[in-house]
Copies of this chain bind each other. A is one copy, B any other.
Amino acid sequence: VRASPDRIVVCTGFTQGLALLCQVLPGTGVTRIAVEEYGQPGPVRTLAAAGLAPAMLSVDDRGAVLDPAPDAEAMLLTPAHQFPLGAVLSPQRRADAARWAAGTGGLIIEDDYDGEFRYDRQPVGALQALAPDHVVYAGTASKTLAPGLRLGWLVLPARLVGAVAEAKAMADGQTSSLEQLTLAEFITSGAYDRHVRRQRLDYRRRRDRLIGALARHVPDVRLTGIAAGLHAVVELPAGRSERQVVARAAARGVAIEGLGDYALRGHTRGPALVIGYASPPSHAYTTALARLTAAIQDQ
């Protein structure tokens, strides 16, 4: 991310960042915003409440499909790790997105919710670096530290900084200076980097153990998406019911979700589970995996 300090607005997380943008964007001519057809439902509700009509983008294994270009003045993307399907936006499509924005004056909101956690190789750079005057980069401490710590940041095109800062001031005055100072100290001391590296190793092991447990006990499922983040998508054999597996897991005390919970224009793919593997405490992870595979096995 290329970010001079005068382009950053600190906020209390992605939710607030998007809410602030929703106050500002209608005044800049944005009426429609393209979103990925699978994603968190919350942001779409926030967009709709602000009168921004969502246009759906298909998603494949190279991320959001940008050809044809969306009929919208803005796009909300998860380029580093499509949520929840798990693709990374391909270099070609990153270039396409930057060209679309520069050519049309469109705005891209880059939701980098878990970019710190990539296990196969170095993370790709932010899309924002390709077009800093057309991309709002949204970062968060929710995944690296904790969602209970409300800290996020927007890196903004210069033309939006004043209006977003004003919206932030009206919304809540400022973000906790205690939490900001604590994070700043954590970063400058080097402890944040050590923490992220340690967590990256831990989450990678958890992911590997999830893959191993599925292969051993339910070999007919297929884990998709790049080796990254805090969740995996597991495709179930055709005909299996997401709801049923989710309910069986819940009955065993394991909280997972169906891919359909994230289908924003209807669930058009085969049945699949969205499994967050960061939540169970370490001492309970083995048990959680056993219960999860048992829930999937159950017929």
A residues within 8 Å of B by Cβ?
A: 11-13, 15-16, 19, 45-46, 49, 146-150, 170-179
From B16, B147, B173, B175, contact of A171 by CB (8 A)? B16
Question: Which residue of the partner chain, among B45, B49, B148, B171, contacts A176 with CB atoms under 8 Å?
Answer: B148
Instruction: Give me the 6 closest cross-chain CB pairs, A-B, nearest first.
Output: A148-B177, A16-B172, A15-B173, A150-B176, A12-B172, A15-B172
Give the chain B neighbours of A146 by CB distance below 8 A: 178
Query: Could you list 28 examples of A-B contacts with CB < 8 Å?
Result: A11-B172, A12-B173, A12-B176, A13-B172, A13-B173, A15-B170, A15-B172, A15-B173, A16-B171, A16-B173, A19-B171, A19-B172, A46-B170, A49-B170, A146-B178, A148-B174, A148-B176, A148-B177, A149-B176, A149-B178, A150-B173, A150-B174, A150-B176, A171-B172, A172-B172, A176-B176, A178-B179, A179-B179
Q: CA separation between A260 and B41, bound complex, in Å?
A: 47
Chain B hits for A148, CB < 8 A: 174, 176-178
Tell me the complex Cα distance, A16–B173, Å.
7
CB < 8 Å neighbour of A170 from B13, B45, B170, B177: B45
Q: How far is the CA of A147 from the CA of B175 in the complex (A)?
A: 10
Bound Cα distance from A279 to B146, whole angstroms: 33
Cβ of A136 to closest chain B Cβ, rounded Å: 17
Chain B contacts for A173, CB-based, 8 A: 12-13, 15-16, 147, 150
A116 to B72 Cα, complex, angstroms = 51
Task: Specify which chain B residues have a CB less than 8 angstroms from the CB of A179 in the assembled complex.
Answer: 176, 178-179
Q: Shortest CB–CB separation between residue A9 and chain B, in angstroms?
A: 13
Give min CB distance, A278 to chain B, whole Å.
17
Chain B residues in 8 Å Cβ range of A16: 171-173
Q: Please give the distance in Å from A57's CB to the nearest CB on chain B.
A: 23
Residue of B nearest to A145 (CB): B178
Specify which chain B residues have a CB less than 8 angstroms from the CB of A13 in the assembled complex. Answer: 172-173
> Across the interface, do A150 and B170 meet the contact criterion of CB distance under 8 Å?
no
**In whole angstroms, what is the CA distance A161 to B45 when docked?**
19
Question: Which residue on B lies nearest to A174, using beta carbons?
Answer: B150
A46 to chain B, nearest CB (A): 6
Closest to A181 in B: B148
**A149 to B175 CA separation, bound complex (whole angstroms):** 8
Minimum CB–CB distance from A92 to chain B (whole Å) comes to 34
Residues of B near A170 (CB, < 8 A) are 15, 19, 45-46, 49
